[in-house]
Amino acid sequence: MSRKFILYTPTLNYCGGVEASAGQLIRLLDRVVIQTHVLTETEISTFQFINNYYEKRSEFFVNYGVYPMRLLKHIGKDRRDRICRSSQGSSLASIIAPFVLVIRLILLKMAIHRVKPSLLIMQVPNIYSLILLLFFKNLPRMAWVHTTFTLRRGGLFWILNKLVLALGSKGDKKLMICSNSDIGKEHAGKLFPGLRIEVLYPPYDDRFFYPRFDLKELGRILVVARIAKHKRIEKSLEAASLLKHRHRCSFKLRIIGDIEDPDYHTYLERRILELHLEDRVSIIPNPTLLAIRSEYWSSWVCWNFSEGTYGRVNVEAMACGCVVLATPNMIDVVGPEFVCKNIEEFANKTAELIRNPNLCLVGRNLAFASKQKYSETSFDPRALELLSQIVWF
């Protein structure tokens, strides 16, 4: 059997969680001498490892979709990446979504015809994209889903998707769906009762991210996220306002991440002034990995207001000894005691951690647990086990 795989990852022009996961897979498959052809819809400008790999082996990268997908950027006010990556986009995104699927189907057919792989791995940006895998039933396929298993309700497109996914995937023995979280696996089992569902946690680099408790600063709070609306960073400013004006805590909040949406960045800067937080909050744009690690090391508490189910920044922060407060979807990762249902809970729990520094020592336990479950060391054997099972089924 051919030792050629296709890894389909829609975007490689950001330094986000999906792109980092792509890099981990490429590194792993390259190490076990499997020829991996990367299909993407963007220019390659992401983590340095992938950039270097592209420079050395550009013939393994297939980016037919750069130009057709670029056209979508100019349609309406929605950015292309929101259309391509989100299942909860605007009504305009919903209208365009069927055309995106058709373009992706053509891209996949062209790539499969060219490469003739023994396995197709697809990093799924939204549930609708799972439909694409139903067109290649003779080929072993793995869907690594990095989003919630929910379809936006309403409309003919939703009804058709529901029917196609339910009926088309029934009895498909060559398709394996891997969720990035335990809660995602539970949801997937309800949506696809006849399919094999597994969990494959996106790993962090445990050689790079590790705790330095001697550098921790009491009252230091961190948010690591791309500066984009769907990351809901404005919620962190509201929580910071409660900490300052209601709880009267001494703290510093650092927001660090690549600027994906310049208008949203401007809005956040203005909101900081409106809430009188200029002495407490700072935004650090476009950081290096070294800068991100330094921020983890000096922070006691990290906030995550995203509505995802995993969050790579969660496990990186925990690996560096931070206490992570997150939304309920991330309960499996951060633990029930660190889940916050609203802004008030974020502020209340953070105030308690600041006033009782000993509580933050739980970060030592989190660092150990994170390494055992989410590290690259744990990821490699698990990923190879699942890949071998689906290829040799």
Pair (362, 258) in one structural domain: yes
Pair (236, 198) in one structural domain: no
Pair (196, 161) in one structural domain: yes
Question: Per residue in 276-297, pLDDT tens?
Answer: 999 999 999 989 999 999 999 9
| 80 band by pLDDT with thresholds 50, 70 and 90 | very low
Asked if 217 and 300 count as a contact pair (C-beta separation under 8 A), the reply is yes
Q: Is the pLDDT of residue 84 over 50?
A: no
Structural domain includes residue 127: yes
CATH number of 54's domain: 3.40.50.2000
User: 212 vs 371, which has greater pLDDT?
Assistant: 212
Q: State the total domains in the chain.
A: 2
Average pLDDT score over the chain: 84
Asked if 281 and 256 count as a contact pair (C-beta separation under 8 A), the reply is no
Contacts (Cβ under 8 Å, ≥6 apart) of 109: 135
Structural domain includes residue 208: no
Q: What angle do CA 376, 377, 380 make, to 5 degrees?
A: 75
User: 68 vs 17, which has greater pLDDT?
Assistant: 17
Pair (327, 197) in one structural domain: no
Which residue segment(s) compose the domain that 343 sits in?
213-373
Contacts (Cβ under 8 Å, ≥6 apart) of 84: 10, 11, 41, 69, 72, 100, 125
Pair (226, 327) in one structural domain: yes
Structural domain includes residue 245: yes
Q: Is the pLDDT of residue 367 over 60?
A: yes
Mean pLDDT of 351-358: 87
Asked if 13 and 47 count as a contact pair (C-beta separation under 8 A), the reply is no
